Amino acid sequence: MLKYDAIEVHFGELWLKGMNRNDFVSRLKHNILDMISATGADIVHNRDRFFIYPKNESGFLEIIESLKNTFGISWFGPVMLAKNSIESILSASNLMFSKDDTVRISASRSYKGTPFNSKDIVSSFMHSGSLNFNLDKNSDKVLHISVMEGETSLCREKIKGLGGLPVGSSGNAIVLLSGGIDSPVSALYAMKRGLKPIYLHVHAFNDNSEAENSKMKDIIKILRKFSPSSKIYFIPSHIFQTATLKIPRKYELVLFRRFLFKIAEEVAEKEDAEVIVTGESLGQVASQTVKNMIASQYGIKRLIFRPLSGFDKAEIISRAKEIGTYDLSIKPYKDVCSIGIKNPSTGMPPDKVSALYEECDISAVISRSLNLSDVI
Ligand code: ATP
Ligand code: MG
């Protein structure tokens, strides 16, 4: 295998950020370091990009896999580094292609202090007898040459990044995670907009350890590829279930959703999170009619972010398959009873929910449930 010198990383939407740019760049650097710390690689910031210097070949491969899961990157790729001279650029590129290759040259200069410009680079390729590959401006094999202050990078494989913003740059978010298809996908889109997830899962098991060892563990494992150090709260539902036994079943669903938002708000306070994220999609099921959504979120002061609001179920499913959570989500799971109620009310007025909330003393239910929670 060709010996590359480094991995070049270009920032995603970060160039938009004016004043806050430095915060975003250092957040991205911190996130990358968090992902690749085990490889011992160094990372160096150079204007609009990073260079990562892996210690060995397996480090290269491992880092490339991690970068594929890092938000805030527009593209990255392994590069060879040459001196800022035509000669050095030509000899490095000779190592990168074989005799039979036809290659298009794409050259740019972010540093204008060299005695040659990008046109000179391309024409020197055409006139150089030392090259062992053919140039073809239509070839899909491309050599990207980028002249910077001090050195030039050569890249033959640009890998598309995830785009978006570095996780954490928009602060913390409580992500309501069920065992279903939608919420893991919503977690991904929340991370894409720079939110650092703290997961909250309300379960129907007798004790937390059963939930912690269920498929939820595997779903979290996949989501942690995008944000390695995210916490999760496991909260039992039995106190809620017992407290609401007396109310008509058709009202329980929206009351449960109000309970979810309120308990999320308590956790948000503790975790310094301004946002609550759900996998709701407008009109998808009874709990997600406009009226029931208004009644559920009534009185919540945090921003409720619903990244999937405008998605069709089929779109959500295809994203879930890409991420790898779909097969886990469709596995049988012990759902909280209220979610499966037949014929729930589809238009509950907020006042009605508030009255039931008082009647069942949900505030007390919340503090007792939180006392029984586990944080992992
Ligand atoms: P999902 O596929 O994510 O379960 P859904 O289509 O089944 O979503 P609902 O059951 O109405 O829809 O849940 C809507 C959202 O509420 C979920 O996407 C999730 O964000 C949150 N939620 C539902 N149940 C729970 C739970 N037990 N614990 C934490 N959050 C939950
Ligand atoms: Mg669900």
Please, which pLDDT band fits residue 8 given cuts at 50, 70 and 90? Answer: very high
> Hey, where are the domains in the chain?
6-163, 172-375
Count CB atoms within 10 A of the CB of residue 31: 24
Residue 178 CA, ligand 2 centroid: distance in Å = 5
Residues, beta carbon < 5 Å, ion ligand 2: 178, 180
What distance in angstroms lies between residue 264's CA and the mean position of ligand 1's atoms? Answer: 13
289 CB near ligand 1 (under 6 Å): no
The amino acid occupying position 235 is: I
Find the helix or strand (DSSP H, E) in which 58 lies: helix 57-67
Residue 1 confidence (pLDDT): 59
Please tell me what DSSP assigns to residue 193.
B
Tell me what pLDDT residue 89 has.
96
Closest protein CA for atom 4 of ligand 1: 180
CB of 285 sitting under 6 A from ligand 1: yes
Q: Answer whether 118 contacts ligand 1 (Cβ < 6 A).
A: no
CATH second-level architecture of 172-375? Answer: 3-Layer(aba) Sandwich (3.40)
**CATH number for region 6-163:** 3.30.2130.30
% residues pLDDT > 90 (the chain): 81
At residue 338, the pLDDT reads 61
Neighbours of 39 (CB within 10 A): 18
Query: Is 365 a residue whose pLDDT tops 90?
Result: yes
Is pLDDT at 281 greater than 70 in this prediction? yes
User: What are the tens digits of pLDDT across the range 102-137?
Assistant: 899 999 999 999 999 999 999 998 887 667 778 888
| Residue 102 β-bridge partners | 134
> Residues 294-304: what's their mean pLDDT?
96
State yes or no: pLDDT of 2 exceeds 80: no
Distance CA 372, CA 266 (A): 14
**Alpha helices (H) along 72-207:** 86-96, 118-127, 182-192
Q: If you search the block for the tokens 């996949």, which residue do you land on?
A: 222
What pLDDT, on the 0 to 100 scale, is given for residue 18? 67
Angle between helices 350-359 and 249-271 (to 10 degrees): 80
- DSSP sequence for 165-183: B-TTTT-EEEEE--SSSHH
Cα-to-centroid distance, 65 and ligand 2 (Å): 31
For 252-279, the pLDDT digits (tens) are 999 999 999 999 999 999 999 999 999 9
